[in-house]
Structure 1
Amino acid sequence: MQQHDLADHHHEHHRHEHHRHERELHDAPPDRNRPRKQEQEDASTEITEVAHGILRSQLPISMPGLGHVNCYLMEDERGVAVVDPGLPGDDSWNALVDRLGEAGYRVGDVHTVVVTHSHPDHYGGAMRLRHETGAEIVTHETFRTIWEADDLGDEDSSTLEINTADDQAEALERYFSRPSPWGGRRAGPSPEFLERLRKAGESHGGAFAIPGPTVPLTDGQTVELARREWVAMHTPGHTYDHLCLYDPEYGVVLTGDHVLPSITPHISGLTPQADPLAEFFSSLGRMEELDGVTVALPAHGHPFTDLGGRARHIIEHHEDRLDIVRGAWPDLPNGTVRDFMRVLFRERSWGDMAESETYAHLEHLRELGELTRDDADGVARYAPAQ
């Protein structure tokens, strides 16, 4: 796929509708008498030990379907590493400083930041920590965001600078003015998000810059945190650059948004791979194959133990979605992505994210040889293969 596909893949969630996961996209209508899903719970100020040398803290986020992000604190003789340090802006930063204090640390004790993937509720505090402490930034080597010059296509990467919030907001607006890979216009980020982005960067300058990894990991590479070695696992699906870390000594897995305990992560159709859903299935299968897992530590929701079972459930969920698409073929013999989106999702969820996820499922079926694609009129249309 083209470079602009990769950029879109990483920035779909930067809208106000950032994480409409299973609750918004697939679940039954909300029931006032039902408890909220784990991932929707508000951030607690409590610090809890969830594995040997690892503390769970929670930072507040205000996004539909999510109430917190888990910022894990990994202790060692040098101080502490933090995993997924929340959104950009003072509110999240102040919460992070508070949680560090509750755990007995200062900002200056942070020597490493692990960012599981390129969504702002995970990387937002990374560069401010580096700015203040010189902390290393650990990501998968494919970590990308829409603001990187190479992803902006028409710009001259030798002169383009995107270091301020205003630059980033302008890049977003310019980028989302382009048509999607399946045809048609995209809604893009909301005015509220763009305004929040600009305000968040007003007082912090370079501390708000998009993180540049200082320790880019390849699949299978190890990194020492919490006094032991962790194995990097490239787990594309929710984003192409998603990183999980596996500790074989204690059986701990940092799952980020790849496997969550009670909601199904969004799968984007916009990646550098021809079949992102197949990539997602493959990386979920790796979770099933891990030996000796004692606890999975997700980026949202509570720690859980049956990582393989939960990964299998997510695979089965998407297999069911593929069957729904197959069942719609008689009524949509030359259907567009938008047509199939209306079959897969409730009206309240229609939009960029739902179209992208629908596109992933349609392209998967095309790669399997079950569908053909025609772009003759500038809009992708899918028909059963003869």
Structure 2
Amino acid sequence: MMTQLAPGVTRVATTKRDNAFLVAGDDGLTLVDVGWESAAGALLAAVAELGHKPGDVKRVVLTHAHPDHVQGAATLRRLTGAQLLIHRADQPWLAAGRVPAAGRSGAFGRLIDRLPKLHWTPTDADATLDDGELVENSGGLRVLHTPGHTPGHVVLLHEPTHTVLLGDAAFNRGRPALGPAALAADPALRAGSLARIPEDVRAVGFAHGAPLAGREAETFHAFLSRQRAVVARNRGPLSPQV
């Protein structure tokens, strides 16, 4: 299933719980996340439904190196010829083919990462991403480094439509929320990173959960405000300078 989130931005449901996004750019399409190995068929069907060929997918931007976002990366690159892009801090994980033990803050997260079905084909990125970078020919995708879920997690801001593609910075389980702390590398840093996301976005694409647009996006604005308040409260008052 696919739906238009904003002009030039299409959500593709790769499973009942997982989403990827296709963004129209200057030279073709940019795919944001690839999902599991099994997602290739749904992604290429969406490309065809948009009137494109597999080779029109020019780049794949990975929001972070977790299996439900990158497991199909090697396959998609082979089928499309697209370049793989990821933040430099997550490139070692992509190349290793799995999340390292230090990549989860909780015992449950470290336990499940031992399962072979949560590994992927070790893959090198064609290029790495930096904070604030405008992805070339992507139609206006700006990289916002939002570490915490992983060291190199990024959110993508589609500047022409004020749309954010969140990766796992937040989930939508009926309302916006943070994901399980045990699955994050640094939960406190993850919460603080939400301050990087603009408060005036018009549409929100979640990797997990239904998107929000128009008036519905106001629930995301409220979520950001609550999270900023929690972070400020946890930091406490600044110590007086002597």
Normalised-by-shorter TM-score class? 0.7 to 0.9
Identity of aligned residues (%): 28
- 2:225 paired residue among 290, 309, 312: 312
- Tell me which residue corresponds to 1:74: 23
- Name the structure 2 match of 1:50: 5
CA shift, 1:182, in A, is 9.6
> Which of 278, 283, 294 is equivalent to 2:202?
294
Give CA deviations for 1:290-329 in whole Å, capped at 9, x if unaligned. Answer: 2642112111212221333222344567899x8xxxxxxx
* Shift in CA distance, 268/242, structure 1 to aligned 2, threshold 3 Å: farther
Which residue among 165, 178, 189 is the counterpart of 1:264? 178
Q: Confirm or deny that 1:59 pairs with 2:6.
A: no
Please tell me the residue identity of whatever aligns with 1:83. Answer: V
| Higher Rg | 1
Aligned-partner Cα distance in 2 for 1:256–1:85: 11
SS of the residue 1:223 aligns to: coil
Aligned to 1:254: 165
**Residue deviations 1:159-185, cap 9 Å, x none?**
xxxxxxxxx6xx88xx76x9x9999xx
User: For structure 1, which segment, 50-59 or 137-146, has the greater mean C-alpha deviation from structure 2 after superposition?
Assistant: 137-146
**In the alignment, is residue 279 of structure 1 matched against residue 189 of structure 2?**
yes
Cα gap change, 1:217 to 1:181, in 2 (>3 Å): closer
- Partner AA of 1:311 in structure 2: L
Q: Aligned partners of 1:292, 1:94: CA distance in 2, in Å?
A: 35
Residues 60 and 84 in structure 2, CA contact (< 8 A), matched pair in contact too: yes
**Corresponding residue SS for 1:98:** helix
Q: Is the 8 A contact 2:11 2:20 kept in 1?
A: yes
Asked if 1 retains the 8 angstrom alpha-carbon contact of 2:192 and 2:228, the reply is no
CA contact (8 A) 1:237 1:268 kept: no
Work out the number of aligned pairs and report it: 226
- SS in structure 2 at match of 1:280: helix
How far residue 102 of structure 1 moved from its aligned partner, in angstroms, is 2.4
Is the Cα contact below 8 Å between 2:157 and 2:163 reproduced in 1?
A: yes
1:118 is paired with a residue whose SS is coil
Q: Unaligned stretches of 5+ in structure 1?
A: 1-44, 61-66, 150-167, 199-207, 323-363, 369-386
1:209 aligned to 121, 125, 130, which one? 121
AA aligned to 1:52 is P
* Residues 100 and 209 of structure 1: CA distance in aligned 2, closer, same or farther (over 3 Å): same
**Superposition TM-score, scaled by structure 1 size:** 0.50
Point out where structure 2 has 5 or more consecutive residues left out of the alignment: none
Matched, 1:118 2:65: yes
- The alignment yields a C-alpha RMSD, in angstroms, of 3.5
**Per-residue Cα deviation, 1:91-136 (whole angstroms, up to 9, x for no partner):** 3222222222222223222111011111111112222222233211
Kindly report which structure 2 residues correspond to 1:78-227, keeping only aligned pairs within 5 A, or say none.
Answer: 78-88=27-37, 91-144=38-91, 146=93, 148=95, 187-189=111-113, 193-194=115-116, 196=117, 209-227=121-139
Alpha-carbon spacing, 1:51–1:224, altered in 2? closer, same or farther (3 Å): farther
Distance of aligned partners of 1:181 and 1:231 in 2 relative to their CA distance in 1, 3 Å threshold: closer
Matched residues in 2 for 1:188 and 1:58: separation? 24
Question: How far apart in 2 are the matches of 1:182 and 1:54?
Answer: 34
SS in 2 for 1:237: coil
- Partner of 1:50, secondary structure, is strand
Equivalent-residue separation in structure 1 for 2:205 and 2:48 (angstroms): 22
Change beyond 3 A, Cα 1:249–1:189 = closer
